[in-house]
């Protein structure tokens, strides 16, 4: 156990060093040489992922971007974009994406399985309760309190991301438009994200020089 944790510490030291120099490739390679040690993060978040995709997104962002600095905010938002554009449950998409970024296929597979495991076990347990005792647990108030805390969590992550990402009037417009159209007009997520992307293409590909996307945020 202590051996493992020491190894993890050494790995993170290396990751930090690589990130400090801004050499993303180097850090990807060091990651690939040791066993996948991040599964505990996903297990932990799998136990607490109440409240939908964005809650899980917030928890993962807090752990991997803010605390451990393995991924950047930009990486994370791109994962959410892919999750929204591709079919399939968005929560799983975000988890698989993060796993893939850490350790390619192996990482994606392990992260997804470990993430779903707590819910899976709890669900089997609940199914037995349901069949044998005809019980549906009444946890409504607990869920409400959790929901309130999750709201605070999501808003705080949203504020941090917004601060970094929204830099000009164009950003403010897209932000307001996405927020309003999903809240008021209940437009499909795919449509919202796709159209914002198209607007991004139109506005940013024509310009010369003003294209900081590759170098920013590292």
Tell which positions 96-125 bind other proteins, by CB under 8 A.
Answer: 96-97, 100-101, 104-105, 108-109, 112, 115-116, 118-120, 122-124
Task: By CB under 8 A, tell whether 50 contacts other proteins.
Answer: yes
Nearest to 114 by CA among 41, 5, 48, 60: 41
Neighbours of 131 (CB within 10 A): 9
Q: How far apart are CA 113 and CA 134, in angstroms?
A: 29
Site for other proteins in 28-47 (CB under 8 A): 44, 46-47
In the block, residue with structure tokens 């930090």: 16
Number of residues that bind other proteins (CB under 8 A): 110
In whole angstroms, how far apart are CA 136 and each of 10, 133, 139? 47, 9, 9
Q: Per-residue string for binding with other proteins, 72-91, x by CB under 8 A?
A: --x--xxxxxxxxxxxxxxx
Q: How far apart are CA 122 and CA 113, in angstroms?
A: 14
Task: By CB under 8 A, tell whether 194 contacts other proteins.
Answer: yes
Task: By CB under 8 A, tell whether 188 contacts other proteins.
Answer: yes
Nearest CB to other proteins, comparing residues 1 and 184: 184
Task: By CB under 8 A, tell whether 189 contacts other proteins.
Answer: yes
Pick from 1, 137, 210, 215: which binds other proteins (CB under 8 A)? 137
Task: By CB under 8 A, tell whether 183 contacts other proteins.
Answer: yes
Q: In the numeric block, which tokens belong to residue 47?
A: 């136990």
Q: How far apart are CA 180 and CA 208, in angstroms?
A: 31
Instruction: Give min distance, CB of 158 to other proteins, in A.
Output: 4
Q: Cα 75 to the chain's mean position, in Å? A: 9
Name the 3-class secondary structure at 205. Answer: coil
Q: How far apart are CA 63 and CA 41, in angstroms?
A: 8
Nearest CB to other proteins, comparing residues 37 and 182: 182
Q: Which stretch binds other proteins (CB under 8 A): 1-9, 10-18, 30-38, 176-184?
A: 176-184
Q: Which stretch binds other proteins (CB under 8 A): 7-15, 30-38, 153-161?
A: 153-161
Nearest CB to other proteins, comparing residues 27 and 57: 57
Contact between 6 and 13 under an 8 Å Cβ cutoff? The reply is no
Task: By CB under 8 A, tell whether 169 contacts other proteins.
Answer: no
């Amino acid at each position: 156990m202590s051996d493992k944790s020491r190894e993890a510490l050494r790995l993170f030291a290396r990751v930090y060093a690589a990130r400090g120099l801004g050499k993303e490739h180097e850090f990807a390679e060091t990651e690939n040489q040791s066993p996948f040690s991040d599964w505990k993060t996903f297990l932990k978040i799998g136990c607490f992922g109440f409240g939908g995709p964005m809650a899980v997104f917030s928890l993962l962002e807090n752990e991997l971007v803010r605390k451990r600095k393995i991924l950047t905010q930009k990486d994370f938002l791109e994962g959410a974009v892919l999750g929204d554009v591709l079919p399939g449950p968005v929560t799983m998409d975000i988890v698989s994406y993060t796993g893939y970024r850490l350790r390619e296929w192996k990482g994606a597979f392990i992260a997804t399985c470990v993430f779903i495991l707590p819910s899976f076990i709890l669900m089997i347990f609940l199914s037995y309760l349901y069949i044998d005792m005809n019980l549906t647990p009444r946890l409504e108030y607990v869920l409400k309190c959790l929901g309130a805390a999750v709201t605070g969590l999501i808003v705080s992550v949203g504020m941090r991301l917004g601060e970094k990402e929204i830099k000009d009037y164009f950003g403010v417009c897209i932000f307001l438009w996405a927020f309003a159209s999903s809240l008021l007009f209940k437009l499909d997520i795919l449509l919202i994200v796709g159209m914002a992307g198209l607007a991004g293409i139109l506005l940013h590909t024509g310009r010369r020089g003003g294209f900081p996307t590759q170098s920013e945020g590292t």
